[in-house]
Structure 1
Amino acid sequence: MQDMIKRSVLLDMIYDAINTAPAALARVALYVAQDPEIVLGLSVAELAHNTDSGSASIVRFCRMLGFSGFREFKIALSGEIERARALDLAQCPNVLTLPPKLAVISTALQNSIAATARTLDIARVQDLAMGIRSARRVDIFGMGPSSVCADIVAMRLLWQGFPVHSPSSASMSHSLARTLDPTSIAIGISSSGVTEETKEFLEIANKAGAQTVAITTRLDCPIAQIADQVILVSSPGSWPEPGSASHVPAVVLLSEYLSRCLQE
């Protein structure tokens, strides 16, 4: 029981830091939360590079959590990972019968949903729901696997009777974005946050006066810097692999929660 208390306290502190810590420390917290295990193999310099911060920020992050330095933090984090793995196996014994590669993917996707649920900015989702209720039109766009996410969110809203467009091509989305106005909402979805077509979609919508929302896994990305509001979801791994749809389950969670907010 004491180990479980320690585990929940440490993880809660990391998740809380994503939304409450200064920008550099928040990036470190998000990186650790998305894939704690990969952090164990990194040096201070490598973690600083991967999070676009400095070595001093890594040390400050560790001390903010109550550790004297990065080494002590990694020792504690390693213990958390092992305890969590043991707990998962105890609760889900059938996972032992799965092929190892399939078990890894299954666990990663479940963890991304759980991490998204824990770190989701509830107030921002509720604000988005309020905006959708009064919007003249809602345009949603994503490229590649994120286009699947756009279709999922759009279909959920359409079934609830909201005026939603989800163009399948970048040229069409950009053309339609030019017809938006301050009574409209433009939602751009990009797991990496660097998709040029999605960035342009939000830029055009901004110029048209629409409220813009970015759904991504990163705070320090181009679409997050352009949008009026940013909603973060978690993706398995430190950074999503090109072409991977691993962030789709987390967006499904967001879509269903947004739908519930709209029903209230």
Structure 2
Amino acid sequence: MQETRQTQPLLLDMIYAAINSAPTALARVALYIAQDPEIVLSLSVADLARNTGSGPASIVRFCRTMGFSGFRDFKIALSGEIERGRVLNLAQRTAPEDIYLPPKLAVLSMALQNSIAASARILDESQITGLATRVRAARRIEVFGMGPSSVCADILAMRLIWLGFPVHSPSSASLSHGLARTLDNSSLAIGISSSGVTDETKDFLSIARKTGAHTMAITTRSDCPVAQNAEEVIVVTTAGAWPEAGSAMHVPSIVLLSEYLSLCLQQLESR
């Protein structure tokens, strides 16, 4: 199944509209976010509730009216929107004579950098440290992805192989599914899907989970079908202005994750 992008209404436009159309408590939340979206990325539900004179339940309700399951997913989407806005602003103010690179290349370069920065903000240090602990304990590690995500699977697998861990990353869905059936509770299965709806990756995790292996999804949506078939989910973002479906838009974030995991593993080894 080829990975695709989903087109959604601009989140900030929805937030601005909620200022005038939402119930009073939710409109107050919308106004606070609209005034300084970036500061919201560093707040907890309790912080935002206190700053807006509302309760945590109102924050969750507001996020759901925006189409998200909770505050974490809302912040991930907001972070991506902020980064996309930066890219567009760069494109609007940069003239060809102002830069060494061609304008389109400069904008794409900035998009890649912003994608990494956005993912860095949402990666959970304790979760990655926990993953490092599981990697060290696993007797077998299977990593799988389809389309552009297969490149990401290879990047992660190769990084761990060079550190001496028993990792496989077959490019064939049928082979990965077959290998998943041979896992056990000493194994780790990692499925990577940018869209979060790739059937082959979902099935890979489902099969591995039935064997008792610990399963982890790496995706851009915590509530997607692929994530629902894993015990743990690591969320990365694809912030940036990407030209077409099929672009390797989440590769930079996977590189970041792979190197961060490598550092955590090295720190554990040094203790």
Tell me if structure 1 keeps the 8 A contact 2:111–2:241: no
Match of 1:107, SS? Answer: helix
Pick the aligned partner of 1:13 from 35, 40, 45. Answer: 40
In 2, distance between residues paired with 1:96 and 1:240? 21
RMSD: 3.2
Relative to structure 1, the CA distance from residue 154 to residue 37 in structure 2 (aligned partners, 3 Å threshold; closer, same or farther) is: closer
Relative to structure 1, the CA distance from residue 95 to residue 184 in structure 2 (aligned partners, 3 Å threshold; closer, same or farther) is: farther
Relative to structure 1, the CA distance from residue 200 to residue 241 in structure 2 (aligned partners, 3 Å threshold; closer, same or farther) is: farther
Relative to structure 1, the CA distance from residue 37 to residue 229 in structure 2 (aligned partners, 3 Å threshold; closer, same or farther) is: closer
Tell me if structure 1 keeps the 8 A contact 2:220–2:237: yes
In 1, distance between residues paired with 2:81 and 2:206? 31
Between Structure 1 and Structure 2, the one with more helix by share is: 1
Tell me if structure 1 keeps the 8 A contact 2:108–2:241: no
Match of 2:99, SS? Answer: helix
Q: Where does residue 79 of structure 2 map in the other structure? A: 33
Higher relative contact order (CA 8 A, sep 6+): 2
Q: Where does residue 196 of structure 1 map in the other structure? A: 199
> Structure 1: any 5+ residue segments left out of the alignment?
1-8, 39-77
Q: In the TM superposition, what whole-angstrom CA distance separates every residue of 1:82-116 from its partner, at most 9, and x where no partner exists?
A: 9x859x98xxxx97332222122111110000111
The sequence identity of aligned pairs, in percent, is 58
Q: Where does residue 160 of structure 1 map in the other structure? A: 163
In 1, distance between residues paired with 2:101 and 2:183? 49
Q: Where does residue 237 of structure 2 map in the other structure? A: 234
Alignment of structure 1 residues 81-92 onto 2, 5 Å: 81=86
Amino acid at match of 1:100: P
Tell me if structure 1 keeps the 8 A contact 2:138–2:186: yes
In 2, distance between residues paired with 1:240 and 1:221? 23
Relative to structure 1, the CA distance from residue 188 to residue 37 in structure 2 (aligned partners, 3 Å threshold; closer, same or farther) is: closer
Using the size of structure 1 for normalisation, the TM-score is 0.71
Q: Where does residue 64 of structure 1 map in the other structure? A: none
Using the size of structure 2 for normalisation, the TM-score is 0.70
In 2, distance between residues paired with 1:95 and 1:217? 34
In 2, distance between residues paired with 1:162 and 1:208? 21
- Consecutive aligned runs of 4 or more in structure 1 exceeding 6 Å deviation: none
Amino acid at match of 1:11: E
Q: In the TM superposition, what whole-angstrom CA distance separates every residue of 1:149-183 from its partner, at most 9, and x where no partner exists?
A: 10111011111111111111000000000000111
Match of 1:176, SS? Answer: helix
Amino acid at match of 1:33: S
In 2, distance between residues paired with 1:185 and 1:172? 16
* Number of aligned positions between the proteins: 212
Amino acid at match of 2:195: S
In 1, distance between residues paired with 2:250 and 2:44? 22
Q: CA deviation at 1:25?
A: 3.5
In 1, distance between residues paired with 2:204 and 2:124? 23
Alignment of structure 1 residues 1-264 onto 2, 5 Å: 10-14=37-41, 16=43, 22=60, 23-36=69-82, 81=86, 96-237=99-240, 241-264=244-267
Relative to structure 1, the CA distance from residue 170 to residue 95 in structure 2 (aligned partners, 3 Å threshold; closer, same or farther) is: farther
Amino acid at match of 2:139: R
Which piece of structure 1 moves more, 28-37 or 141-150?
28-37
Amino acid at match of 1:126: T
Relative to structure 1, the CA distance from residue 216 to residue 239 in structure 2 (aligned partners, 3 Å threshold; closer, same or farther) is: farther
